[in-house]
Amino acid sequence: MRLRRNVVVCLQLNSGVSWTQGLTYLSSDQLTSLVTLLLAVGAASACSRGTAVTPEVFGQWEVVGHQGAGVSAMSDSQAAAWTGRDAYFASNVARFHRDSCSRPAYRSQSVPADSLFDIGFRIAPRELGFTSGSNVRITEVSCEGKDWTAPGALIIWADPNRAYTVWDGEFFTLLRK
């Protein structure tokens, strides 16, 4: 039985953290079995990231309010006119009012609230009910492998049934229907 020495296997976990395990003295059969297992795990992992289905956003949503983030390209009355607009997210479609994508991909992650709001939007996290120093869960929607430039392309989660999306300097509150 031929032995493989000092084989290093890196497995990219869903959390985005690399795990490295040094393996010593594997037989060819053991190495073949390990590689087969890792390929299967890697394929499953790839299916759960990037183009992954993110059921938390799936369903029908409605705009129920808005809040400006300092400088806005919309007037208050223009933003208020968005109340009642609908959004729908599923594995085969993402739609916000009249904008739609027939091949969406969803990517969720947790980001520092201060970075997202203070740096990204020049608004204090507390203005939307988030705590400074905490993490915020976001979902990014892409379309056909590219950035989707439409309202609803970024979902900021307040709780499982309430979220925000940003457009033209306004944070629109979405409620799950």
Query: Per-residue pLDDT tens for 2-34?
Result: 333 333 333 333 333 332 333 343 344 443 443
Ranges of each domain in the chain:
3-47, 55-176
pTM of the full structure: 0.69
The residues that bridge with 174 in the sheet, in sequence order, are 63, 163
CA distance 89 to 141: 9
Paired tokens of 116: 């997202």
The overall average pLDDT reported for the chain is 76
Q: How confident is the model at residue 54 (pLDDT cuts 50, 70, 90)?
A: low
Q: CA 119, 120, 122, 127 torsion: positive or negative?
A: negative
Paired tokens of 31: 């190495």
pLDDT of residue 153: 96
